[in-house]
Amino acid sequence: MNVVFMGTPEFAVPCLDILIEHYNVSAVFTQPDRPKGRGKQLAMSAVKERALKDNIPVYQPEKIKTPEMVKILRDLNPDVIVVVAYGQLLSQEILDIPPSGCINVHASLLPKYRGAAPINWAIVNGETESGVTTMYMAKGLDTGDMIMKSKVDIPLQMTGGELHDALSEKGKFLILRTLKAIERNEVEREPQDDALSSYAPLLDKEVSIINWEKSCLEVHNLVRGFNPWPIATTTFENEKMKIYRTEPTEIKAKGRPGQVVSVSKEGIFVNCADFQLKIIEIQMPNKKRMTVEAFILGHDLKKGIVLGE
């Protein structure tokens, strides 16, 4: 089976790995090199790095839908196109090229969490399980017929980064099973129920600002869902405090939302709408990420201070 692969971030690399192992990957399409880091040096995508290790031709169009790119794809003559977090929508003209279709690996249990950031929003919204879905791509956003699913439990302390890694691993085995089933003509298509769908929009730093008037569990889910990016934030003495790790408690809130009730080596206990949240790991501007135990050695964080003001 001749496979063309389209993907960009680290999440997509395990899928590319397993396809290289089992099939002829004739080309890889990925996003153009982008400025990265403080020096804004041009950096290639994780998928491009992996493809170059096996000398696979790499294409990096700003727009995949141009006549030039469509012609290149036709000339590559793929049996199937596999798409994993590529970052561009495909035109119907491209979707119609491979006889076995364009197959997407999506990091949610569709039809829930269509869109760009399903991993993070599943945690922020307090889901106890997520998973990976393979589907035939259609012109809409993550609306195609589903093929297979693989589930992953979400424990109370799992972060967005940890779920990302778990789903990335699940994805590679699921795409292999899916392509094997396509080869055997044993695929059953399941249309999505649009009434059950939800949208997981792109992340930005605005959505990660903590609202202490929410429940303890809601704030905790926000913190872990946006770790390692964009990182939940609040303010402490007019400075931005990034919060990396918390723990919900069943200690009743005493006072205003955001008010620090107590501070110890264990953590900073802060009022939410119902209970107190224990903050365990933070980072202040121009400082290293550290535990609260280390932070209070050099900072006078007294109870009664209100975070977020």
Domain ranges for the chain = 2-200, 205-295
Q: How far apart are CA 141 and CA 113, in angstroms?
A: 11
Q: CA-to-CA distance for 232 and 282, rounded, in angstroms?
A: 10
- Tens digit of each residue's pLDDT (9 = 90 or more) over 152-180: 999 999 999 999 999 999 999 999 999 99
Q: How far is residue 7's CA from residue 64's CA, in Å, rounded to a whole number?
A: 12
Q: Mapping DSSP to helix (H, G, I), strand (E, B) and coil, where does residue 14 land? A: helix
Which segments of the chain have a pLDDT < 70? none
Whether the Cβ atoms of residue 261 and residue 254 lie closer than 8 Å to each other: yes
Hey, what amino acid is at 134? T
Q: Is the backbone of residue 26 left (phi > 0), alpha (psi -120 to 50) or beta?
A: alpha
CB 14 within 8 A of CB 172: yes
For domain 205-295, the question of CATH label 3.10.25.10 is answered with yes
pLDDT of residue 288: 96
Q: How far apart are CA 237 and CA 87, in angstroms?
A: 39
Exposed (0-12), middle (13-18) or buried (19+): which is 227, by Cβ within 10 Å? buried
What pLDDT shows up at residue 37?
79
Q: Are 210 and 268 in contact (CB under 8 A)?
A: no
Strand partners, 290: 282
Would you identify the CATH topology of the domain 2-200? Rossmann fold (3.40.50)
The owner of tokens 């692969």 is 5
pLDDT at position 302 is 84
Distance CA 29, CA 267 (A): 46
Query: What is the DSSP pairing of strand 267-271 with strand 260-264?
Result: antiparallel
8-state DSSP, 90: P
| Per-residue pLDDT, 33 | 96
- Return the pLDDT at 64: 97
Give the span between the Cα atoms of 154 and 171, in whole angstroms: 16
* pTM of the predicted protein model: 0.96
* CA dist., res. 80 & res. 100, Å (int): 5
The reply to whether domains 2-200 and 205-295 share a CATH topology is no
